[in-house]
Amino acid sequence: MTVALSLAIVAGVLAIATVLGLLLRSRTGRARVVTPRASDATTVADLASREAFGTAATLLQFSTPTCARCPVTARQLDAVAASRSTAKGPDRVRRLEIDLAERPDLARRFDVMQTPTVLLVDGEHTVRARFGGPPRQPELVTALDAVLTEEHS
């Protein structure tokens, strides 16, 4: 193999890796709307007691002990939940965290490929949106406000 061919192969591999990395990065933290259907992956009522959920919405965070971004995400979700709860009751929006190390069956059920993964759940315990990676603040607030607005309709 010539030096030129070796360099071309290395350059090609780097180009492909860069494109894949940029594609993954662009999708991380974006809201993905979950279409309602009769499935285990669209309801979360069996994951915790009724009191653990918010009355209007719940930000369900899947984490692992080794997740470096999970504590920051937890603080972000707590702040958003608090900002949306104070006006109409302290339990309106809550954050619920589930450790996948303790419940690995849920990773398969909810197709969790990275942590944190956040599910936006309405007052009926139905998954309305999901975020792979730390949610982007504007998208999180927009998705949450949409669920809260529908609550009043």
Using the predicted structure, report yes or no on whether residue 24 has a pLDDT greater than 70.
no
Q: What is the mean pLDDT of residues 89-114?
A: 90
The per-residue DSSP string of 81-92 comes to: HHHHHGGG-TTS
Question: pTM to 2 decimals?
Answer: 0.75
Q: In the structure, what pLDDT confidence band is assigned to residue 90 with cuts at 50, 70 and 90?
A: confident
The pLDDT score that the predictor gives to residue 63 is 95
Q: How many residues does the chain have?
A: 153
62 in Cβ contact with 116 (< 8 Å):
yes
Using the predicted structure, report yes or no on whether residue 96 has a pLDDT greater than 50.
yes
The pLDDT score that the predictor gives to residue 153 is 57
Q: In the structure, what pLDDT confidence band is assigned to residue 38 with cuts at 50, 70 and 90?
A: very low
110 in Cβ contact with 98 (< 8 Å):
no
Q: In the structure, what pLDDT confidence band is assigned to residue 47 with cuts at 50, 70 and 90?
A: confident
Tell me the two tokens of residue 106. Answer: 């849920």
Tell me the two tokens of residue 126. Answer: 């139905």
Greater model confidence, 86 or 69: 69
The per-residue DSSP string of 32-53 comes to: EEPPP-SSGGGB-GGGS-GGGS
Using the predicted structure, report yes or no on whether residue 148 has a pLDDT greater than 50.
yes
Using the predicted structure, report yes or no on whether residue 76 has a pLDDT greater than 60.
yes
Tell me the two tokens of residue 65. Answer: 């002990």
